[in-house]
Structure 1
């Protein structure tokens, strides 16, 4: 990258950071976010890597991306046990989850903000052979720093929606050189590949590998974590579990009203609420208190073993949603009644949950289209339609199970993205046994 472009970006980032500082300070005081990792983010003080093993640096923004990297990390470990894998993330929730999932075997740290000095210092300390950015993390200074230090750079599980493409098209002259410098663009589908190419990525380094989210989905309900959670919650064959996952305001209140009505005729119904953002746990708890319905927190279940459990459970822990979906018979995927654009519906589909979601699912348009085409899910337009779906699942359980089986079959044919991606990444790494280049 030309120095003028680099410092122009620095100035733009600094202006944006200054403008956002009041909101960041308020969020740090109110929610505890943004209180750590300043040296890593602003100065690039990533952990200094020792030794000369080949290194793959994987970057994921937050919880969703951190989770999906698990299958790719496993594939890379199998193919290249000699390689060192390090993981960076941006948010505190992503960092905490990455530390819990990968910290025993891999170094985890906060990714530098895209200031040139921070990116240069982080790359100097980590010394990656390959830098992999998950989905749509196109940071010009970080990519340029990695290239200057001799690393190859790729995008994995590439995702680029129509709206993102239109936005990036406006700055194509600035973004084009960054995209042309990429050594790999592995996308979730063919339309996304073409969008990357139209923005400047080279066709010969791009490929459709599929979505890692399918490979990361658990399909067996008898996995140890799901069995443990079912036992902890006290659910038995007499119960029908409805899980509302990744919810946002006002979806919890909607689900509570639907649940209260449905339970009058189906006393074995149980409701599990899993809000999308941890900072909303207390807010949802207040909504539950105001409802007057009996409920408890997931974090309090340990002390409630052996005691009767309330009919409503608020999951106030991070990183468990995937396992909780295996407990559910009926599912509602949140973020779809509001303006967020939906959340990942692959996990309930993979378990064979009778799944529904609202009409606003633009972030998962391809997955929704595949599920609807397979007749493996239902789109519910509003609260009344959601109530009708839950009631139908309760009164026609055989049809609900068949809906789930069709969804599970759709997921099964999509598997293999992690292996295809790892095959391409492996070609970017130095040959096993070859002496590592000088730092």
Structure 2
């Protein structure tokens, strides 16, 4: 019998496992797939390697929140490469090269939008005010405030609003539901610094798995959980595991569906919550020496985001990933699905070529994935888990606790998404289990 069973070996589950095992808990991690990492897995096609779940992250400096979270989780000293700018946002053919650092960020926007100096001052001050404190035991007030209303009230020129929300795949940019807290916390992290991992995500997941095992824990793959009853977790292969505490890193709706003894009203609440939009991705392997590497991400007209893999050597890119948000996707892999993928691939390539001339001629290999692919590997078709709605934060922002006293939640549906959000969620979940405010340790 273990102290803690963790269902799902995604980033959130592994960080929880590493923290709890270092605190003396015996941890068992159960992963349904053949490899750990969840969305943070790389894969290869021919001579090309792709990492669809980890393109770039916010500041990993030890002075900033994400860096402190990673250091505390045992992920210090990883090889991060800083990008040359924060993000390139293209609106109607005009490029905005958003710089890193608040001073440079502010100066750049004031130069591009001289009539918005007062608004820019107010914008920066409000973002820094929200992110300058950590509410660890309650829902931050800004979770109940609208990001869209804040931006519209702050600026007169709609173009600057488009620029400041143009990084389309950094967050679920549905301004009708996006909370000011979610917008501010993620925006702040990227303004402070933007980084790519110089290597495969296994550098991260392998480090966390090593911490768990070094402290007496175990990780099992090929273990699809089929039922949770009391302190027991049952798998579809007939195996059974028992622990005083159970942590679920899978989607909350999938979690409550496994429980025999969960309060019906909680099941209805979780099952009724909407997920964020899904992502369609075009994976491109390039002919050698055809497309120059761009050391930052490019978002175009809030329709696509372009990411180039860090090249093995030289100034030319090896791979490109084009990602597009999609709300609706065919439910079955039939002829309509194939047609839908072909049309979306062509649309993504056409938009990307407006910024990267010659991209199509440089293609050696191209294929795509859809929200159905995400659902197959992560159990959720939405890229950012449950959609948090500023109009109903008490319903859509979940606590790590559940009505089942020994069952806790973690992952991107609890709090924020992305590496920052998942690390924050894991720290909060672990602290709740341990009865400690772990934020005071970072």
Shorter chain as denominator, the TM-score bin is under 0.3
TM-score by structure 1 length?
Answer: 0.27
Larger radius of gyration: 1
Q: Normalized per residue, which structure has more strand?
A: 2
Q: Normalized per residue, which structure has more helix?
A: 1
